[in-house]
């Protein structure tokens, strides 16, 4: 880990500094503007940014602001032609790691970068440690062993503690609300999770609801109201179904995000807010923006990090384990034994497309636990079987399947429950055509 991103519009200075840093063994990249710098790094960038303060367009101080918003622990060293004390103090207060005055020697530059990298390494190591102690799939409320879910849990653990804004995209029922709750729970923010269901805000009251309002002093008229945005300060503002917001409100919201302050209706001055914005949408927001249905500039403010939740049909390996988990949870809540799985239930789990995703699967599992399985026609019941041998075999199959379900496919436990020797158990499985793999997640 020895990356340095050097940002300066002065060609000569860039070349000289890159040379000194490369000679000292750093892996240096040079860009000529703040915009390019922001394109070259993300929250996981494990290096140091060294930037000139005076640059055309976005200057070094604004770049610092944007980097701090991306990852407050990323070290930024600022370079200035004339460092007066107030500028230097201001930069340090805004989160700069160090300020270097021009002209500086190669040694000064290398020493500053070395110190900053050391600190970055420490932060990265700590994050890694926190990640390895992140609850694994079985403890996490977000369940599933598919690669997409494993990666999603990892990303949530990574971005939750950083104040970065997150956009969650996914079809209905894929877990967007759940992910928003997890992001807030694992953040270091002490305020509340303020959920705003943008699709359900009463028309005509949306602005007042979001931005708040001050009394207008006229008898019987407008009441003062603290807006949801202000209530979310120091916590997380969760804008659910954000695509439902009208164009005017989108513009107002964009200003709030840009300046991190809100002006209630009728107020003459803005109030600062400390926000972390998580938004969710089941329509593709980028596509909506391209089609002119959503403000492109707001989209770019919302999506510092985008989490995509795949539909259940694209991670079918999660279906049966999720179903099992939901059945066990529901049965435990109701104080009843989980019912035995039947072939028709499995068939439904395997064949159905689950357009309502995890929510639909959860409802199905709850109904199943309650004995209200409506997944298809029942196989002929035991009583309808004619000969004794078939009836006994059907009964035996049911008992074995029940034991395997309770043991989650663990043969030793199923054998113990049925008091059967292992060899006999395997023989009976083969004879009755019971597929062991079906019971293992």
Ligand X SMILES: Nc1ncnc2c1ncn2[C@@H]1O[C@H](COP(=O)(O)OP(=O)(O)OP(=O)(O)O)[C@@H](O)[C@H]1O
The whole-angstrom separation of Cα 6 and Cα 8 is 7
SS3 category, 114: helix
Q: Under the criterion CB under 6 A, does residue 173 sit at the interface with ligand X?
A: yes
The contact pattern for ligand X, residues 90-129, with x = CB under 6 A and - = no contact, is: ----------------------------------------
Partner that binds at residue 282, options ligand X, Mg ion, none, CB closer than 5 to 8 Å by kind: ligand X
CB within 8 Å of 150: residues ≥ 6 apart: 137, 144
Q: Under the criterion CB under 6 A, does residue 145 sit at the interface with ligand X?
A: no
Positions of E strands within 243-314: 261-262, 271-272, 277-281, 305-309
Partner that binds at residue 227, options ligand X, Mg ion, none, CB closer than 5 to 8 Å by kind: none
Positions of E strands within 166-311: 166-170, 193-197, 236-240, 261-262, 271-272, 277-281, 305-309
Q: Compute how many residues bind ligand X; rule: CB under 6 A.
A: 15
Going from the C-alpha of 199 to that of each of 17, 203, 242, the distances in angstroms are: 53, 10, 7
The region of 159-167, 176-184, 223-231, 415-423 touching ligand X under the rule CB under 6 A is 176-184
The whole-angstrom separation of Cα 4 and Cα 208 is 46
Which of 224, 235, 322 minimizes the C-alpha distance to 277? 235
Q: Under the criterion CB under 5 A, does residue 191 sit at the interface with Mg ion?
A: no
Query: Residue 281 CB, nearest distance to Mg ion (Å)?
Result: 10
Q: Under the criterion CB under 6 A, does residue 282 sit at the interface with ligand X?
A: yes
The region of 66-74, 166-174, 257-265, 293-301 touching ligand X under the rule CB under 6 A is 166-174
Q: Cβ-closest residue to Mg ion?
A: 177
Which of 340, 250, 232, 260 minimizes the C-alpha distance to 293? 250
Tokens of 249: 């409100």
Q: Under the criterion CB under 5 A, does residue 409 sit at the interface with Mg ion?
A: no
Q: Under the criterion CB under 6 A, does residue 177 sit at the interface with ligand X?
A: yes
- Do 319 and 362 touch, CB atoms closer than 8 A? no
Which of 139, 387 has the CB closer to ligand X? 139
Partner that binds at residue 106, options ligand X, Mg ion, none, CB closer than 5 to 8 Å by kind: none
Q: Cβ-closest residue to ligand X?
A: 175
Q: Under the criterion CB under 6 A, does residue 315 sit at the interface with ligand X?
A: no
SS3 category, 282: coil
The whole-angstrom separation of Cα 347 and Cα 345 is 5
Query: Contact with ligand X (CB under 6 A): which of 164, 183, 358, 365?
Result: 358
Dihedral sign (CA 390, 395, 401, 403): negative
The continuous run of DSSP H or E covering 9 comes out as none
Query: Residue 9 CB, nearest distance to ligand X (Å)?
Result: 45
Query: Residue 1 CB, nearest distance to ligand X (Å)?
Result: 33
The region of 74-82, 140-148, 244-252, 269-277 touching ligand X under the rule CB under 6 A is 140-148
Q: Following DSSP, what letter does each residue of 67-86 receive, concatenated?
A: HHHH-TTS-EEEEESS--HH
- Do 266 and 222 touch, CB atoms closer than 8 A? yes
Query: Contact with ligand X (CB under 6 A): which of 68, 106, 178, 420?
Result: 178
Q: Under the criterion CB under 6 A, does residue 354 sit at the interface with ligand X?
A: no
Q: Under the criterion CB under 5 A, does residue 177 sit at the interface with Mg ion?
A: yes
Query: Residue 372 CB, nearest distance to ligand X (Å)?
Result: 18
DSSP 376: S
The region of 51-59, 168-176, 354-362, 417-425 touching Mg ion under the rule CB under 5 A is 168-176
The continuous run of DSSP H or E covering 379 comes out as none
Query: Contact with ligand X (CB under 6 A): which of 26, 97, 143, 439?
Result: 143
Q: Under the criterion CB under 6 A, does residue 142 sit at the interface with ligand X?
A: yes
The region of 21-29, 37-45, 115-123, 138-146 touching ligand X under the rule CB under 6 A is 138-146
Q: Under the rule (CB under 5 A), what is the footprint of Mg ion?
A: 176-177
Q: Under the rule (CB under 6 A), what is the footprint of ligand X?
A: 142-144, 170, 172-178, 282, 358-359, 362
């Amino acid at each position: 880990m020895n990356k340095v991103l050097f940002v300066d519009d002065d060609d000569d200075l860039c070349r000289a500094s890159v040379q000194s840093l490369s000679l000292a063994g750093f892996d240096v990249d040079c860009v000529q503007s703040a915009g390019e710098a922001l394109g070259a790094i993300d929250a996981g960038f494990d290096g140091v940014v060294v930037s000139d303060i005076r640059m055309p367009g976005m200057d070094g101080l604004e770049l610092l602001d944007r980097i701090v918003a991306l990852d407050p622990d990323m070290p930024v060293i600022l370079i200035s032609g004339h460092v007066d004390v107030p500028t230097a103090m201001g930069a340090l207060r805004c989160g700069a790691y160090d300020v270097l005055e021009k002209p500086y020697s190669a040694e000064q530059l290398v020493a500053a970068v070395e110190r900053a990298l050391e600190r970055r390494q420490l932060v990265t190591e700590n994050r890694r440690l926190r990640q390895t102690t992140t609850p694994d799939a079985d403890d996490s409320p977000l369940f599933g062993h598919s690669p997409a879910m494993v990666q999603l849990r990892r990303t949530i653990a990574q971005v939750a503690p950083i104040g970065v804004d997150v956009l969650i995209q996914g079809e209905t029922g894929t877990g967007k609300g759940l992910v928003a709750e997890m992001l807030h729970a694992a953040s270091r923010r002490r305020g509340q999770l303020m959920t705003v269901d943008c699709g359900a805000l009463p028309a005509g009251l949306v602005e007042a609801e979001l931005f708040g309002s001050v009394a207008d002093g006229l008898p019987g008229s407008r009441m003062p109201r603290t807006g949801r945005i202000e209530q979310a300060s120091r916590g997380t503002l969760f804008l659910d179904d954000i695509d439902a917001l009208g164009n005017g409100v989108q513009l107002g919201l964009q200003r709030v995000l840009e300046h991190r302050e809100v002006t209630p209706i009728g107020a003459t001055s803005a109030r600062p807010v400390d926000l972390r914005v998580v938004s969710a949408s089941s329509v593709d927001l980028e596509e909506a923006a391209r089609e002119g249905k959503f403000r492109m500039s707001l989209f770019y403010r919302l999506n510092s990090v985008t989490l995509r939740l795949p539909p259940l049909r694209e991670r079918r390996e999660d279906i049966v384990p999720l179903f099992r988990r939901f059945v066990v949870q529901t049965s435990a809540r109701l104080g009843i034994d989980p019912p035995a799985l039947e072939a028709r239930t499995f068939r439904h789990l395997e064949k159905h497309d689950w357009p309502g995703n995890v929510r639909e699967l959860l409802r199905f599992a709850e109904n199943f636990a309650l004995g209200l399985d409506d997944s298809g026609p029942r196989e002929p019941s035991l009583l309808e079987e004619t000969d004794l041998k078939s009836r006994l075999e059907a009964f035996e199959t049911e008992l074995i399947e029940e034991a395997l379900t309770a043991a989650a496919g663990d043969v030793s436990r199923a054998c113990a429950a049925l008091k059967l020797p292992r060899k006999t158990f395997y023989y009976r499985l083969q004879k009755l055509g019971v597929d062991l793999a079906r019971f293992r997640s």
